[in-house]
Amino acid sequence: MTSRIGLVWNPSKIDEGMLREQIDATFDESVDVLWWETTVDDPGAGMAAEAVEAGCETVVAVGGDGTVRAVAEVLAGTDAVLGIVPQGTGNLLARNLGVPLDDVRAALERVRDGEPRRIDVGWVETDGERRAFAVMVGFGIDAQMLVETDDDLKDRAGWLAYVEAMGRALAGTEMTDITLTLDDEESQHLRAHTMLVGNCGMLQGGIRLLPDAVIDDGRLDLLLVSADGALQWLDTVRSVVWDNGIRRLFGRDSEAVSTESTTHVSAERIRVELDAPQRFEIDGEEVGEVTAFTVEVQAGALTVR
């Protein structure tokens, strides 16, 4: 068991007194726990860097996906281990790792007792800025839903707030021309309205948008959606729910199935150029509009419990 833990916690997500109580109940006096509080200007990167500098062998991100992503970005490529106490709406990396979602004590016990595991980290470069992601990036309905989701409703209703935003997101997405380059292959010219590139593929409710995505296989998986009109949207829903959902549960298909309106591919490096600016998201956080981006995987870069 590690002797020094850095705790990077978001005060807007959890009560400090309750968190300290759970920390004291989980770790004995042989463990030195150092605390860092995130701020509006810094969701956790600066604090994680200080924790590594202070000799923390494990750094625990206590907060939502933004806090987890910021801490993971700093820890990638180091010997420090990431622990997660999920306190957000999506908690996407925690879901994909099987970390307890609604039990702070259970999540802390996973940090204490869990076996270390190396996973991949994705990196995305937009407009000269390079950022890490643990789950997925993309544009289209996924990013548009983040823009349309009412923050007050999200606080009250959790992930159901995203469902409420779905209708407005569908109305707000438009087809665009895309130039797509996978690894060293020739570029492809496509037309679609939604693209997701992921390190792992499970969302809220057990939905797997990227059914072939494996968090430690050294590859990134891509989903392109080009549905235009009611019939093609039905085809998309069938692809997600049936072809790449229920059928796979019964072992009828070993790989993701592409359809008329959905395309599944994987690569180590992906370059995308867009004909029109699109709103972009990184691990559930909307980061503005982009016209081009490059995504690549750093295999086995991060150790998690």
Q: Which of 71, 78, 74 lies closest to 38 in space, CA to CA?
A: 71
Confidence at residue 263, expressed as pLDDT on a 0 to 100 scale = 86
Confidence at residue 208, expressed as pLDDT on a 0 to 100 scale = 72
Amino acid at position 129, single letter: E
d(CA 218, CA 125): 18
Mean pLDDT score, 209-218: 90
Higher pLDDT, 239 or 208: 208
Q: What are phi and psi of 277, to 5 degrees?
A: -60, 140
Q: Which residues contact 54 (CB under 8 A, 6 or more apart)?
A: 4, 6, 34
State the CB neighbour count (10 A cutoff) for residue 229.
9
**What's the whole-number average pLDDT of the chain?**
84
3 state SS of 282: strand
d(CA 65, CA 199): 14
Q: Which residues contact 131 (CB under 8 A, 6 or more apart)?
A: 73, 123, 124, 125, 282
Q: How confident is the model at residue 224 (pLDDT cuts 50, 70, 90)?
A: confident
Amino acid at position 190, single letter: L
Q: Which residues contact 85 (CB under 8 A, 6 or more apart)?
A: 9, 14, 60, 61, 62, 63, 104, 107, 108, 111
Give the tens place of pLDDT for each residue, 8-58: 999 999 999 999 999 999 999 999 999 999 999 999 999 999 999 999 999
Q: Which residues contact 128 (CB under 8 A, 6 or more apart)?
A: none
Mean pLDDT score, 299-305: 97
d(CA 299, CA 220): 10
Higher pLDDT, 202 or 145: 202
Give the tens place of pLDDT for each residue, 276-301: 999 899 998 888 999 999 999 999 99
Measure Cα distances from 103 to 9, 19, 83 in Å. Answer: 16, 11, 14
Residue 141 contacts residue 193 (beta carbons within 8 Å): yes
Give the tens place of pLDDT for each residue, 125-169: 998 899 999 999 999 875 444 334 444 544 444 444 444 444 444
Confidence at residue 107, expressed as pLDDT on a 0 to 100 scale = 98
Sign for the pseudo-dihedral over CA of 19, 21, 24, 26: negative
Confidence at residue 2, expressed as pLDDT on a 0 to 100 scale = 53
Tell me the percentage of the chain whose pLDDT exceeds 90.
Answer: 63
Domains of the chain (ranges; CATH) run 4-114 (3.40.50.10330), 123-300 (2.60.200.40)
Give the tens place of pLDDT for each residue, 185-199: 999 999 988 898 999
Crossing angle (nearest 10°) for helices 141-148 and 160-172: 120
Confidence at residue 89, expressed as pLDDT on a 0 to 100 scale = 82
